Structure 1
Amino acid sequence: MNRLLSVRALALLCVALVSCATPSSSRPSAEAAPASGWQLEWARGAVFYEVFVRSFADSNGDGVGDFNGLTSKLDYLKGLGVEALWLMPMFESPSYHGYDVVDYEKVDSEYGTQEDFDRLVREAHQRGIRIVIDFVLNHTSAQHPWFVESASSPQSPKRDWYVWRQDNPGWKQPWGDGPVWHEKNGAYYYGIFWSGMPDLNYRNPEVRAEVKRLASLWLARGVDGFRLDAARHMVERGPGEEQNDTPETHDFWKEFSAHVRSVRPDALLVGEVWSDSKDILPYYGSTEKVRGGDELPMLFYFPVAEAILDSLQYGDAARLHARIEEFSTAFPSGALTAPFLANHDQVRVATRLEGQEGRIRVAPAVLLTLPGTPFLYYGEELGMPNGPVEGRDRDPAKRLPLPWDGTEKAGFTTGKPWAPFVAGWQQRNVAAQLADPGSLLQRYRKLIQLRHDSPALRVGTLKPLPRSDAAPAVVAYLREAPGERVLVVHNLGASPATVSQVLPGAPLDPLFVDPQVQAGAEASTSNSWQFVVPAYSSGVWRLR
């Protein structure tokens, strides 16, 4: 590490240790933010890749993926075109998934040591790849020492670090019928997900100060930001919807964000608000007070993921067209948006699209030509389906080991893998697809390279073009940046389609055109072009 980086790390560590004075109010209050706001242009339009470390690559033969295994595959990710990684939880935890943390300061020993993690960060940065880690702040494990102490006595100094009451009011989860109040030692504690994950009490200023200290600590250790799990559930007010999106939750995120900006204005916060746009958009906060938003500067765009896959399933682009119109008008100026196809909580794309190769191939063409910062889930570039474990739609089936080659243990491990590989891995693996110019992996590589090379696709504006009643499966839009205007056309249906569009420029220079996609000027109308688009095909052209 050079001297400049050493001084920077030391300064950040000092902030981590001494900057988190306890606020006097019991309600979160936003700190004063730097007038310059966020410094996150590095993230605008970048391609992120979500990694489940346990399932990515094993370096020591114990069957569990680890930091050194991931480090050994950074050149693969660089070749894919990835610019940042989101690591699923990597703190000490009793579970395979890690979303129930027992120590926020220690990495999971199954993944390696702190030195192994530091090397991963250093090697990633040398390749121009940033590291964002999953920061699960809504709740801890019931085995966390904080909760053990809190549950030990009503007089415990950490009693108020969690939410307790003497009776059970009978609230249910806002998305179902599961209980949220759980009995222990004659009292009830609140845990919105289940009894093994008690919610922290963010009305307590000590809790808020502690999580800010932890954020500073990990920023000092070199991470480039945090993915924020369950961001809409931080502070509850009552039953039902009063467990979602409360004013106190928004207040907490403003306070937390102000702290992160004060430490590292180039550190990314990306929030999980699993809902519709009306609930997602308020989490940006005010873009007038702070450039990029005084709350969370990036949010996952769940509705567009559903729209892409629904449109492909039904062969009708109406849902996607509606979201593209929303994309082009609803988001606040300067805000960062994170579209995606699937993540670790959702059925994998290949399974959702019923294994139909045409659908699976057009999905990334849509994602990677839309605005925002696209997130890829590991294995989607291979077309990995859900796996052969009990309950196809259960979470472990979505998080199985990545097959690197067709050998006995798939190049993932030299030992017994912690979980089985997906069906067909002997043919559908990294090595096989790298060797096949027409593979899905090579398609991802070409589309990501196109995005890197085109300012319009990377950071340009979005303008949806009119739909045709005669071709309901076709969606078309323009992307524009200074000096470049790009036309994108996708056919999401199983039949070929012909559509016409009046365009602001011509002729067309092909940038990415699937076989047999044709474009030609129509003599009858000025600036009108006709497009013949086979089933499940895409075309991208630059307008002159």
Structure 2
Amino acid sequence: MNYRDITIEYNSFRESHKKPFGATRVNEGITFRILVENAKNAEVTLVIAKEGHGERYMRMNPVDKLHHSATYTADEAGLCFYFFIINYQDHDVHRTVYAGSPGHGIGGEQVIKENRWDITPYQITFHNYIKPAPSWYKETIFYQIFVDRFYNGNEDKRISSPKKNSFLYATWEDTPMYIKDCQGSIMRWDFFGGNLLGVMKKLDYLKELGIGGIYLNPIFKARSNHKYDTGDYMTIDEMFGDEETFQRLIEEAGKRGIRIVLDGVFNHVGADSKYFNAFGSYPELGAAESKDSPYYPWFNFFNYPSEYESWWGVKDLPNVNENNPSYRDFIVGKGGVIEKWTKMGIGGWRLDVADEMPDDFIKDIRSTMDGIAEDNILIGEVWEDASNKIAYGKRRRYLLGDEIHATMNYPFKDGVIAYLNGHVRARDLYTRFMSLKENYPREAFYSALNNLGTHDTKRIYTEIDDVTRLRVAVGMLLTFPGVPCIYYGDEAGMKGESDPYNRGPYPWGNEVEEVSDIYRKMMHLRNSDDAFTRGDFIPFYQENLFGYLRNTQDSTYLILINREPEEARLVVSDVIGLESVSDEMEGLLDDFYYLESTSFNCIKIR
């Protein structure tokens, strides 16, 4: 980058400037190399600080007339932040400039400022040894099921064990809705009647589709249809089935090579739970009924019993104190929740609102799981870049080696939708994805649970209301590093705005075949070559075109995406971001490719 009459070049994405690339093991040195040209008597200082510690100033050594170098080693896991000070002579005037990051948590080409306090430091993630996620998880395609809306497995289609103060739909094809009071609280929960037997009866469909993992929204006893208001952690909700049915589901899924992951909601429970029992629904003495209840210490009351800490102020979801010894032992102790269900043979857990759970509680969950089954997966719900997430004033440590294996990759979803809808440039998408690759330890990056939509977001076919662009989004989902997860019904062409419309019943027999065909073909592509599960990821861009390589020793795929509704000619030699491609790889790339209007192109080049 030229600044006045001098040139400064530093790009954290390039190993010629920072080696090794990306997140780094503790006690492994990182070498920084910056170019400063046409600056008389240039002196360069690397300023680096471990979070929570003071800054360290390291004079960089001249390597030649242009380059300055320094090596830094961290002795503990966590984030470090760094920038550069460049002092030089401009005629007879001493000048100082600063080189730093384009933005918080963003890497790439440096930004030059004259004021130290205008600089945003670069980030480095230092981590301990990370035990790899189980291979079955990294090599599969997941399918998320909102049980009440998937399929009713009862032969007569009756709804099992309807709940008090709820309403049932006249037909499976009805549109979901809420009945709320004047304060906005839900008065009547609505149910379609999907159950675990229904999931079991559709296992062959999922197997044929190419699914290897099912992520179930909560299935424990609760008053609502979504079950995030847990009533009893030790009991399957009677509308879904019972423990015997769930055991059969695990076994039948296993016969088809499919693993079941449960949704663990351990930050809060339902007001209508055996633990809180605000409505007297359970025979046990709940915390809201008496301070003598064994569950009373689990909750934080402000004005007993009507005012208490709850999830985002929702009175129906009282928060649990995860640091209470009794509660923690109930979840992770001998005979506790994690042990009981893990021993049944599930494939792992997804932690709801992981950013609202203490780090040491997550560690305890992971430790309990590892002590029962070494091939279980632990996934955390995190909506942002999980490497630098701050929650309640505290930097989280999800990815440093002893907590979760993976996080839900909402940044991927947000980036794809923003790009395809024309809200960001190809360069912006490249920077977003490269920054995730740089900030995440490799194991975490390749284990992220990627999605285009969940029960908490609009459906992807509503976000991108165009089959051509939808094909591009699905193609990216199934060829991107990490584990793709399909929200039930997306492959059938379901649409839906935010809750409750994104939670409609699966349209069995009324699928949009054009959309289903897109998913089938892209899933077949994903499962056809392990380049899409473990291959190197090398993104690049050119004007409005975005692309990436997925490369292993045995095969290489070139993914090219044309967002604009016109034909385009991609000249590979002109793209930005392929600096790390080897000479051997460059020899495999043709000079140019023609892209059709608004298209996803996956080209096997060896």
State the TM-score bracket (shorter-chain normalisation). Answer: 0.7 to 0.9
Query: Take 2:505 and 2:406, find their aligned partners in 1: how far apart are those partners?
Result: 29
1:172 counterpart residue number: none
Contact conserved, 2:353 with 2:382, CA < 8 A, in 1?
A: yes
Residue 273 of structure 2 corresponds to which residue in structure 1? 144
User: Kindly, what percent of the aligned residue pairs are identical?
Assistant: 31
Secondary structure at the aligned position of 2:479 is classed as: coil
Deviation string, structure 1 residues 238-288 (Cα, Å, up to 9, x no partner): xxxxxxxxxxx112212221221122221111110123445459756465x
Q: What amino acid is aligned across from residue 327 of structure 2 in structure 1?
A: V
For normalisation by structure 2, the TM-score amounts to 0.65
Matched residue SS, 1:489: strand
**Are 1:479 and 2:543 matched, yes or no?**
no
TM-score (norm 1): 0.72
What's the CA shift for 1:528? Answer: 4.6
Give distance in 2, aligned partners of 1:233 and 1:478: 36
2:567 paired with 1:492: no
Report 1:6-405 matches (<5 A).
37=131, 40-60=134-154, 61-62=157-158, 63-148=192-277, 149-166=286-303, 184-185=304-305, 187-212=307-332, 213-234=336-357, 249-280=358-389, 285=398, 287=400, 293-314=401-422, 316-335=425-444, 336-353=447-464, 355-386=465-496, 393-405=497-509
Aligned amino acid, residue 232 of structure 1 = D
- Residue 536 of structure 1 deviates from its aligned partner by 2.3
Aligned counterparts of 1:506 and 1:79: Cα–Cα separation in 2: 40
User: 1:215 and 1:537, CA in 2 relative to 1: closer, same or farther beyond 3 A?
Assistant: same
Deviates most, 60-69 or 341-350: 60-69
User: Larger % of helix: which?
Assistant: 1
Q: In structure 2, the residue corresponding to 1:152 is in which secondary structure? A: coil
C-alpha displacement of 1:340: 1.0
Q: Is the 8 A contact 2:559 2:601 kept in 1?
A: yes
Structure richer in strand, relative to its length: 2
Structure 2 gap ranges (5+): 1-128, 159-191, 278-285
1:535 and 2:597 are equivalent in the alignment: yes
Counterpart selection for 2:522 from 436, 447, 464? 447
> Tell me, which stretches of 5 or more residues in structure 1 are unaligned?
1-34, 167-183, 235-248, 288-292, 387-392, 407-427, 434-438, 509-520
Higher alpha-carbon Rg:
2
Question: Deviation digits for residues 475-534 of structure 1, max 9, x if unmatched?
Answer: 1111112322221111123232221113869999xxxxxxxxxxxx9xxx9955212112
CA contact (8 A) 1:283 1:295 kept: no
2:135 & 2:372 partners in 1: Cα distance? 17
Distance 1:126 1:532, change over 3 A: same
C-alpha displacement of 1:538: 1.4
Judged with a 3 Å threshold, the aligned counterparts in structure 2 of structure 1 residues 323 and 45 are, in CA distance, closer, same or farther, namely farther
- Residues 79-121 of structure 1, C-alpha deviations (whole Å, 9 max, x = no match): 1111100011111111111110101111111112222221111
Matched position secondary structure for 2:309: strand
Alpha-carbon RMSD across the aligned residues, in angstroms, is 2.6
Deviations 1:279-314 (A, max 9, x none): 459756465xxxxx2011110111110000111111
Q: In structure 2, how many angstroms separate the alpha carbons of the residues matched to 1:78 and 1:324?
A: 31
The one-letter amino acid of 2:499's match is D
CA contact (8 A) 2:548 2:558 kept: yes
- Aligned-pair CA distance for 1:191: 3.4
Which deviates more from structure 2 when the two are superposed, residues 190-199 or residues 525-534? 525-534
Q: Using CA pairs under 8 Å that are at least 6 residues apart, name the structure with larger relative contact order, 1 or 2.
A: 1
Count of residues paired in the alignment: 420
SS in 1 for 2:480: coil
1:501 and 2:554 equivalent? no
**Structure-2 residue corresponding to 1:179:** none
Check conservation: 2:260, 2:348, Cα contact below 8 A: yes
- Measure, in 2, the Cα distance between the counterparts of 1:46 and 1:463: 21
